[in-house]
């Protein structure tokens, strides 16, 4: 069916590739972690909701497992440091 007389299709803004695709503009602050994140840092991370975002239950599960792994790592490091300190004190 032809378009009615005087009707024009809306023009999409031209992007860098000429296909109308433009770079998204960040409207939320970045999700930042310190260089050496702890389990508490992981627990505090919050992601913004998006139309086509990730499944929140999967993200939550991965972050929970990561926080547990960081806790276990930190406990192991603390134990090893205590053992080294004990060995140094015996000398």
Which has more pLDDT, 13 or 83? 83
* pLDDT of the residue at 17: 56
Could you tell me if residue 79 is inside a domain?
yes
Place of tokens 């109308």: 20
**Residues 38 and 70: beta-carbon distance below 8 Å:** yes
pLDDT tens per residue across span 21-67: 666 666 656 667 788 888 888 888 877 777 777 788 888 888 888 99
Could you tell me if residue 31 is inside a domain?
no
Could you tell me if residue 38 is inside a domain?
no
Could you tell me if residue 23 is inside a domain?
no
Model's pTM, two decimal places? Answer: 0.53
Could you tell me if residue 40 is inside a domain?
no
Residue 73's pLDDT band (boundaries 50, 70, 90)?
very high
How many structural domains is the chain composed of?
A: 1
- The 8 Å CB, 24+ separation contacts for 59-68 are 66/42, 67/39, 67/42, 67/43, 68/39
Could you tell me if residue 20 is inside a domain?
no
Could you tell me if residue 73 is inside a domain?
yes
């Amino acid at each position: 069916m032809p378009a009615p007389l005087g009707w024009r299709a809306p023009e999409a803004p031209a992007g860098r590739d000429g296909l109308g695709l433009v770079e998204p503009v960040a409207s939320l602050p970045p999700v930042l972690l310190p260089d050496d994140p702890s389990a508490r840092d992981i627990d505090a991370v919050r992601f913004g909701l998006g139309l086509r975002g990730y499944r929140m239950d999967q993200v939550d599960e991965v972050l929970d497992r990561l926080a547990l792994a960081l806790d276990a790592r930190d406990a192991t490091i603390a134990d090893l440091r205590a053992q080294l300190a004990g060995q140094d004190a015996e000398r």
